[in-house]
A and B are shown apart, each in its own frame.
Chain A
Amino acid sequence: MWRKQLVAPSWPWPCCQPQDRLRCLRWMPGCTRTTWSGCWRLLPRLLEMCTPSWTEWSGSIVLSYVAGIAWFLALVFPPLTQRTYMSENAMGSTMVEEQFAGGDRARAFARDFAAHRKKSGALPVAWLERTMRSVGLEVYTQSFSRKLPFPDETHERYMVSGTNVYGILRAPRAASTESLVLTVPCGSDSTNSQAVGLLLALAAHFRGQIYWAKDIIFLVTEHDLLGTEAWLEAYHDVNVTGMQSSPLQGRAGAIQAAVALELSSDVVTSLDVAVEGLNGQLPNLDLLNLFQTFCQKGGLLCTLQGKLQPQDWTSLDGPLQGLQTLLLMVLRQASGRPHGSHGLFLRYRVEALTLRGINSFRQYKYDLVAVGKALEGMFRKLNHLLERLHQSFFLYLLPALSRFVSIGLYMPAAGFLLLVLGLKALELWMQLHEAEVGLEEPGGAPGPSVPLPPSQGVGLASLVAPLLISQAMGLALYVLPVLGQHVATQHFPVAEAEAVVLTLLAIYAAGLALPHNTHRVVSTQAPDRGWMALKLVALIYLALQLGCIALTNFSLGFLLATTMVPAAALAKPHGPRTLYAALLVLTSPAATLLGSLFLWRELQEAPLSLAEGWQLFLAALAQGVLEHHTYGALLFPLLSLGLYPCWLLFWNVLFWK
């Protein structure tokens, strides 16, 4: 009986005239009688009738873009940015009294360490072992070696081999199920001696206390982050990056939190904290709150991104200063590199941050005792943790040390930008549909597009060639530079690192010549609908990629969306093509990287000249490739395999004939 009722009203197709839009809408559920595909065909027509005219349509696209940018800028103003607060109960209410007084001891250790290091020219492993044992730790070493894919010119290393030294303070009467890590990465230059001194002095002080419930690992790594990566991989018994290392002899259970320390002077004027880790991962906000608590308690001057936090948020100055810090954070997070050795811990779900002692020209200085006390307080509170840090935010942006923007509040900014792509794609789809209808019913519903030559609908087959070719370019960009470095060095007078960077740029530029190549491959039966279909696919592809990136690393997603979206929306083979081309080149991933570098130095108040910027850009390219191979950073494959091919599709659209 009910079946008959459902079927009974035969739906009048010709009702879809502009005058009875409402009726159409009302009848929309009627499409249940048809199949899904019928409904699908119906949708653009309905949208066309129920949406504003073309000018309103493009207006809304522009508005959406502007709204995205404005939303992001508004993030620094108080209703959107909130004060940070400690969520973790175990760390909030407990009182801790810092008793560290080993400043002299720390300086003596640092002096000895520096002397031994200078003498041996490498990490003084034997001295460290002896000293750690003398302060009562259980000491182990780990040797590792790694051949980088090509010489690292920034750090001047290629075949790397080194030794990590770590000492474990066993918590009394506990079963070694949990631990905390204090790590000092030591590079090839003679920095961080004071950090090692402070680490040893803290170890000596901690060893005398009986309140530890978690083991504490004091880790000194050689070759800074490479050593840390080797140690972490060996600790978790995995091999992610092809590091060769000896297995660890001593372990201390699941690592709950880690603090990396970088100190190169006996006195500091301020402590800078770095949170951005590998691939834009961030530690739990509570760890940062903890640091901030002890900054306030000890009266230390603490900075974020090297910027002091503004005091006054009611006037415009505070938020503007916050915006600088926020932009710096976005740029750093978007780079996906670990900004300090803490960044590598985050992969293993170990909440970690890096503290850097800064010694500037400021009058008031703090000695190592003040830093040591802050660290002691942090470790004592972390020792109180019952569960892993999980209460507070994992996804946040920081306009200041004591202010944050949560994910729920910053996500709309990226959402608005992606909406542009969505709207544009919808518009294209409707145009395509119109053209199709125009073909089917000659003389009916004339659209704004140019009259089309008689042809069948654009098959997806015609899109296969440009898609494949651009993806192949991406693959070449990903694989060839490192693979072909030796060939390049044989034929050209360049070093390996230069060869990699120049091959990168060459392949990147070669991609721009792509349209001329693909043109013969693509069937050109319906040129206008061809580019529309290609652009539609490219828009959806871009929107999907940016959406996924923004979910995992908001900063990168937002940065790429800001630059790529307008050019992507505008690109078409008509109109001012040179202007579009210039815009497209300026917003390509590589140009975005270059621009970001300039912006970054500008915000740090150390502006770059053009030549310096270019040098920095080349170095950044090499670093990006290296970091992918040594730490597993994903920015390079993401750009070369995902966004660059997608961008090439728009380039292809622009030069469609």
Chain B
Amino acid sequence: MAAAMPLALLVLLLLGRKGWCLAEPPRDSLREELVITPLPSGDVAATFQFRTRWDSELQREGDTDHYFLRYAVLPREVVCTENLTPWKKLLPCSSKAGLSVLLKADRLFHTSYHSQAVHIRPVCRNARCTSISWELRQTLSVVFDAFITGQGKKDWSLFRMFSRTLTEPCPLASESRVYVDITNYNQDNETLEVNPPPTTTYQDVILGTRKIYAIYDLFDTAMINNSRNLNIQLKWKRPPENEAPPVPFLHAQRYVSGYGLQKGELSTLLYNTHPYRAFPVLLLDTVPWYLRLYVHTLTITSKGKENKPSYIHYQPAQDRLQPHLLEMLIQLPANSVTKVSIQFERALLKWTEYTPDPNHGFYVSPSVLSALVPSVVAAKPVDWEESPLFNSLFPVSDGSNYFVRLYTEPLLVNLPTPDFSMPYNVICLTCTVVAVCYGSFYNLLTRTFHIEEPRTGGLAKRLANLIRRARGVPPL
């Protein structure tokens, strides 16, 4: 039974391939690429991208209604093989051929960073957008740690990283390439060399800086056929020094300040390290309802002065229904640190609402920063369809800016947690008994009882009493 499932999938894939062949060839093709970026610290980042497009009969109906837009985030998810396996199954060649043979779980999960994504979106097929295609893009980024995986050595090869080499392209793919970043960090001489030597190189402006990539095309028969496999090696000519890595223009940090279980403060530090350009950042925060935000304590300071956001959208939380939503457009001055802080009070949950591990704390999702970061080098406008896939990871808007979306770290906040144990139950019971007894006893002790005389006489008596009081005689 267990074996039947993959088999069925395989059959589906084979059938599907036939089906695709009947349609327009370029549409449903797979483009795959691997970008290897050696980092100055000696680590190596590898990013896989797979893109498939297929036609859809569904028609696009005007603009998306913003009323239906939803944003959801699950702050607590550690990526593991469970996430990788179904993700790999979405690939046409699975992990049988092409770049995806490198996706071996045992190596990928020995890395120091792992990020895996699935993007799906409609793409217009013509200028008037009367018909659409669907695009499925899968990305996987890992950073190999020179300390753990390389045993201290800083030279890399595909085999050392993935314990596999490339043998053949995925037959379904229209394009299958490996890009290696060979940009010189030193101006004087080359810092690293790749082996085998690349046939072509590619130049572009990525994240505001000029980069040079060596290209290895798997469909290039000369590349594979020489030795039946392709093992790209990367050697540092001058090993990078142990120096602090260069800081990006925009980065952020988030933390909870304060101590104790009553109050706290959410602080987000936004760094703009650009020497002379200020730029705006859109900050989106969703905070669970059990952190009761005090909106009046929202302070934004940069360089010791108050920074007034040009746009604020705040949607208050409703208990047990929806979280706080806070969205702000903040201008970050050049070369500055902006601190956004807001105080909160920790709510006491109902006892059934605590998670099974309440003393672990409760997660607060990361804030999302979206910004157009000015680049140092002006980029040419490019044709998105022709340029490599990784180009669109940080799309350039008008040549002088590139778009970045950053996620800060999730936070772990401790809420006041009852001691879920036997003494706790005993205390609860005792307190209940005491409260009930105390109430009634106190009531009995403080109340004075007296017999209420039936009211006799009406207006006449009251009048009489008035007169008697005026005379100084005790009333009736």
Residues of A within 8 A of B (CB): 3-4, 6-7, 31-36, 39, 130, 133-134, 136, 139, 170, 172-178, 207-210, 236-238, 250-251, 253-254, 347-349, 386-388, 390
Tell whether, in the assembled complex, residue B258 and residue A238 are in contact, meaning their CB atoms are under 8 Å apart. yes
Of the candidates B78, B148, B414, B446, which one forms a contact with A208 in the assembled complex, judged by CB atoms under 8 Å apart? B148
- 1/0 contact trace for B257-271 toward A, CB 8 Å? 111000001010000
A sample of 5 inter-chain contacts (CB < 8 A) reads A174-B78, A178-B412, A386-B357, A387-B360, A390-B359
Query: 5 closest Cβ contacts across the A-B interface?
Result: A237-B257, A387-B359, A172-B112, A387-B360, A136-B147
Tell whether, in the assembled complex, residue B257 and residue A236 are in contact, meaning their CB atoms are under 8 Å apart. yes
Separation of A237 and B265 alpha carbons in the complex (Å): 9
Given A32-B445, A208-B148; A173-B111 close (CB under 8 Å): yes
Q: Which residues of A contact B419 (CB under 8 A)?
A: 390
Separation of A56 and B258 alpha carbons in the complex (Å): 54
Given A173-B113, A208-B148, A254-B414; A388-B359 close (CB under 8 Å): yes
Q: Which residue of B lies closest to A171 (CB)?
A: B112
Separation of A238 and B258 alpha carbons in the complex (Å): 6
Tell whether, in the assembled complex, residue B449 and residue A236 are in contact, meaning their CB atoms are under 8 Å apart. no
Q: Which residue of A lies closest to B151 (CB)?
A: A208
Tell whether, in the assembled complex, residue A238 and residue B259 are in contact, meaning their CB atoms are under 8 Å apart. yes
Q: Which residue of B lies closest to A349 (CB)?
A: B259
Q: Which residues of A contact B360 (CB under 8 A)?
A: 386-388
Tell whether, in the assembled complex, residue A238 and residue B414 are in contact, meaning their CB atoms are under 8 Å apart. no
Tell whether, in the assembled complex, residue B410 and residue A175 are in contact, meaning their CB atoms are under 8 Å apart. yes
Separation of A390 and B360 alpha carbons in the complex (Å): 10
Tell whether, in the assembled complex, residue A133 and residue B244 are in contact, meaning their CB atoms are under 8 Å apart. yes
Q: Which residues of B contact A32 (CB under 8 A)?
A: 444-445, 447, 449
Q: What's the minimum C-beta distance from A34 to chain B, rounded to whole angstroms? A: 8
Separation of A33 and B448 alpha carbons in the complex (Å): 6
Q: What's the minimum C-beta distance from A244 to chain B, rounded to whole angstroms? A: 15
Q: Which residues of B contact A388 (CB under 8 A)?
A: 359-361, 414
Tell whether, in the assembled complex, residue B78 and residue A173 are in contact, meaning their CB atoms are under 8 Å apart. yes
Assess whether B226 is interfacial by the CB under 8 Å rule: no
Q: Which residues of B contact A387 (CB under 8 A)?
A: 357-360
Separation of A202 and B86 alpha carbons in the complex (Å): 39
Tell whether, in the assembled complex, residue A172 and residue B148 are in contact, meaning their CB atoms are under 8 Å apart. yes
Q: Which residues of A contact B78 (CB under 8 A)?
A: 173-174
Given A4-B451, A387-B357; A207-B147 close (CB under 8 Å): yes
Assess whether B145 is interfacial by the CB under 8 Å rule: yes
Q: Count of A-B contacts with CB under 8 A? A: 98
Given A36-B445, A133-B242, A387-B357; A173-B109 close (CB under 8 Å): yes
Given A172-B112, A237-B257, A238-B258; A177-B409 close (CB under 8 Å): yes
Tell whether, in the assembled complex, residue B409 and residue A175 are in contact, meaning their CB atoms are under 8 Å apart. yes
Interface residues of chain A: helix, strand, loop or mixed (majority): loop
Of the candidates B114, B259, B357, which one forms a contact with A236 in the assembled complex, judged by CB atoms under 8 Å apart? B259
Q: What's the minimum C-beta distance from B296 to chain A, rounded to whole angstroms? A: 19
Q: Which residues of A contact B147 (CB under 8 A)?
A: 136, 207-208
Q: What's the minimum C-beta distance from A229 to chain B, rounded to whole angstroms? A: 13
Given A173-B78, A386-B357, A388-B361; A254-B444 close (CB under 8 Å): no
Given A173-B109, A173-B113, A173-B114; A254-B449 close (CB under 8 Å): no
Tell whether, in the assembled complex, residue A253 and residue B409 are in contact, meaning their CB atoms are under 8 Å apart. yes
Given A174-B78, A237-B265, A386-B360; A347-B409 close (CB under 8 Å): no
Assess whether B110 is interfacial by the CB under 8 Å rule: yes
Separation of A237 and B340 alpha carbons in the complex (Å): 13
Separation of A170 and B409 alpha carbons in the complex (Å): 13
Q: What's the minimum C-beta distance from A414 to chain B, rounded to whole angstroms? A: 19
Assess whether B140 is interfacial by the CB under 8 Å rule: no
Assess whether B256 is interfacial by the CB under 8 Å rule: yes
Q: Which residues of B contact A209 (CB under 8 A)?
A: 148
Q: Which residue of B lies closest to A232 (CB)?
A: B259
Q: Which residues of A contact B450 (CB under 8 A)?
A: 7
Residues of B within 8 A of A (CB): 78-79, 109-114, 145, 147-148, 242-244, 253, 255-259, 265, 267, 357-361, 363, 409-414, 417, 419, 444-451
Max count, chain B CB within 10 A of own CB: residue among A139, A170, A176: A176
Tell whether, in the assembled complex, residue A39 and residue B445 are in contact, meaning their CB atoms are under 8 Å apart. yes
Q: Which residue of A lies closest to B42 (CB)?
A: A136
Tell whether, in the assembled complex, residue A7 and residue B449 are in contact, meaning their CB atoms are under 8 Å apart. yes
Given A178-B412, A237-B255; A172-B445 close (CB under 8 Å): no
Separation of A388 and B259 alpha carbons in the complex (Å): 15
Of the candidates A33, A170, A254, which one forms a contact with B361 in the assembled complex, judged by CB atoms under 8 Å apart? A254
Separation of A180 and B128 alpha carbons in the complex (Å): 57
Q: What's the minimum C-beta distance from B208 to chain A, rounded to whole angstroms? A: 22
Max count, chain A CB within 10 A of own CB: residue among B360, B410, B414: B360
Tell whether, in the assembled complex, residue A238 and residue B257 are in contact, meaning their CB atoms are under 8 Å apart. yes
Q: Which residues of B contact A178 (CB under 8 A)?
A: 412
Q: Which residues of A contact B447 (CB under 8 A)?
A: 32
Q: What's the minimum C-beta distance from B154 to chain A, rounded to whole angstroms? A: 12
Q: Which residues of A contact B413 (CB under 8 A)?
A: 254
Tell whether, in the assembled complex, residue B409 and residue A210 are in contact, meaning their CB atoms are under 8 Å apart. no
Q: Which residue of A lies closest to B450 (CB)?
A: A7
Given A177-B363, A386-B360; A349-B449 close (CB under 8 Å): no
Tell whether, in the assembled complex, residue B409 and residue A176 are in contact, meaning their CB atoms are under 8 Å apart. yes
Separation of A237 and B259 alpha carbons in the complex (Å): 9
Of the candidates A33, A173, A175, A237, which one forms a contact with B112 in the assembled complex, judged by CB atoms under 8 Å apart? A173
Q: Which residue of B lies closest to A169 (CB)?
A: B147
Of the candidates B111, B259, B410, B448, which one forms a contact with A35 in the assembled complex, judged by CB atoms under 8 Å apart? B448
Q: What's the minimum C-beta distance from B160 to chain A, rounded to whole angstroms? A: 16
Q: What's the minimum C-beta distance from B249 to chain A, rounded to whole angstroms? A: 16
Q: Which residue of B lies closest to A389 (CB)?
A: B359
Q: Which residues of B contact A175 (CB under 8 A)?
A: 409-410
Q: Which residue of A lies closest to B446 (CB)?
A: A36
Given A172-B148, A253-B409; A347-B449 close (CB under 8 Å): no
Q: What's the minimum C-beta distance from A135 to chain B, rounded to whole angstroms? A: 9
Separation of A90 and B257 alpha carbons in the complex (Å): 28
Tell whether, in the assembled complex, residue B446 and residue A35 are in contact, meaning their CB atoms are under 8 Å apart. yes
Q: What's the minimum C-beta distance from B111 to chain A, rounded to whole angstroms? A: 7
Tell whether, in the assembled complex, residue A253 and residue B446 are in contact, meaning their CB atoms are under 8 Å apart. no
Max count, chain A CB within 10 A of own CB: residue among B79, B147, B265, B267: B147
